């Protein structure tokens, strides 16, 4: 059995998809945002020291997003990654609210169809979910492929944005 590394200190934010964890750097820029799950058997520690000024702003914007009244975030972001990951995450931010693209389309937008797997890995490594909208990338056949926050969260976000339609008792579909 492998031992997981300790979780970094994260501010906890309740939301309609569960508890989100947020981290900020010393300049007050958001560096991480993801759904926390108890499957690890532990919650991350709360950060010590004063609360970042941007935390209240993030809470209000997330509340508005989940209420359906906010489409574009303007929180200062500072994700950490390779040059290629940064290019992918910048491209993800160009996908408008209520729209999706396939992994193949993402690779084409990066001007190299052959980088589809690398683009998918970078998408999956996105440290700032929701604000860098990796949930808007789907399979070429319209399927909801993997999502770090869980497919239930991806489905919820796409329904919220009006992309995903669901018929009673049916599998989610992008094409209903």
Q: What is the pLDDT of residues 88-105, one digit of tens each?
A: 999 999 999 999 999 999
Q: Return the DSSP state at 52.
A: P
Mean pLDDT of 34-44: 75
Helices (H), the chain: 53-66, 83-92, 103-109, 116-124, 151-160
Weakest-pLDDT range from 14-18, 39-43, 54-58, 119-123: 39-43
Active-site residue, 134 included: yes
3-state secondary structure of 129: coil
| Structure confidence at residue 150 as a pLDDT band (50, 70, 90) | confident
Residues paired with 19 in a beta bridge? 14
pLDDT above 90: residue 160 = yes
3-state secondary structure of 118: helix
Mean pLDDT of 55-80: 96
Catalytic residue among 134, 138, 157, 158: 134
Mean pLDDT of 146-159: 91
Q: What is the pTM of this model?
A: 0.87
| Domains in the chain, CATH or no CATH each | 11-66 (no CATH), 83-160 (1.10.10.10)
């Amino acid at each position: 059995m492998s031992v997981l590394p300790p979780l970094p200190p994260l501010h906890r934010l309740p939301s309609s998809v569960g508890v989100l964890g947020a981290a900020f750097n010393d300049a007050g820029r958001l560096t991480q945002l993801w759904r926390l799950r108890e499957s690890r058997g532990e919650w991350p520690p709360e950060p010590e020291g004063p609360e970042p000024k941007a935390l209240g702003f993030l809470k209000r914007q997330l509340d508005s997003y989940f209420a359906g009244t906010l489409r574009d975030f303007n929180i200062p972001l500072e994700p950490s990654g390779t040059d290629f990951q940064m290019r992918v995450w910048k491209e993800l931010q160009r996908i408008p609210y209520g729209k999706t693209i396939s992994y193949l389309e993402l690779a084409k937008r990066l001007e190299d169809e052959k980088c589809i797997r690398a683009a998918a890995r970078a998408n999956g490594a996105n440290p700032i979910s929701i604000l860098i909208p990796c949930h808007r990338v789907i399979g070429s056949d319209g399927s909801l492929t993997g999502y770090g926050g869980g497919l239930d969260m991806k489905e919820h976000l796409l329904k919220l944005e009006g992309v995903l339609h669901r018929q009673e008792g049916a599998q989610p579909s992008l094409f209903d």
